[in-house]
């Protein structure tokens, strides 16, 4: 994508609509791993196709591990890697910042785009 710019390269894949939310959700549940359907229940507005694509991207980039168990019915679980755990303090800081500034931002949006 942007091979000479690590910031653009990483953020392009990490800062879409779903990746940070999936990482946050995997951490927030307190479980070591979640099955696909459990994760989908935790994020009800994500489609099955988008969740699968997001998990695939997160796995490719080393944020999530996928463990498939040879059972009937098949069981697949997703867990955060050490890389994702090292990212969590930054995600939590961003969430805190967003909570502190949400009202002011929404107010400014209202001024910029009156109804």
Determine the Cα–Cα distance for residues 1 and 25; give it in Å rounded to an integer.
27
Provide the pLDDT for residue 77: 95
Provide the pLDDT for residue 12: 85
pTM of the model: 0.84
11 confidence band (pLDDT: 50, 70, 90): confident
Task: Classify each residue of 49-79 as buried b or exposed e, where b means 16 or more C-beta atoms within 10 Å of its C-beta.
Answer: ebbeebbebbeeeebbeeeeeeeeeeeebbe
How do residues 21-67 score in pLDDT, each as one tens digit?
Answer: 999 999 998 889 999 999 999 999 999 999 999 999 999 999 999 99
Indicate the average pLDDT of the chain: 91
Provide the pLDDT for residue 110: 85
CB atoms within 10 A of CB 18: 19
Determine the Cα–Cα distance for residues 24 and 12; give it in Å rounded to an integer.
18
Tokens of 18: 């779903």
pLDDT at 105 over 60: yes
Contact predicate 25/43, CB 8 Å: yes
Bridge partners (DSSP) of residue 79 are 65
């Amino acid at each position: 994508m942007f091979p000479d710019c690590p910031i653009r390269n990483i953020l392009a894949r990490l800062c879409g609509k779903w990746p940070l939310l999936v990482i946050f959700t995997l951490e927030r549940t307190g479980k070591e791993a979640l099955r696909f359907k459990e994760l989908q229940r935790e994020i009800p507005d994500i489609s099955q196709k988008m969740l699968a694509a997001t998990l695939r991207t997160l796995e490719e980039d080393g944020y999530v591990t996928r463990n498939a168990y040879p059972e009937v019915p098949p069981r697949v679980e997703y867990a955060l890697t050490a890389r994702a755990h090292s990212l969590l303090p930054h995600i939590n800081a961003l969430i805190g910042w967003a909570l502190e500034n949400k009202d002011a931002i929404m107010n400014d949006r209202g001024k910029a785009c009156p109804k």
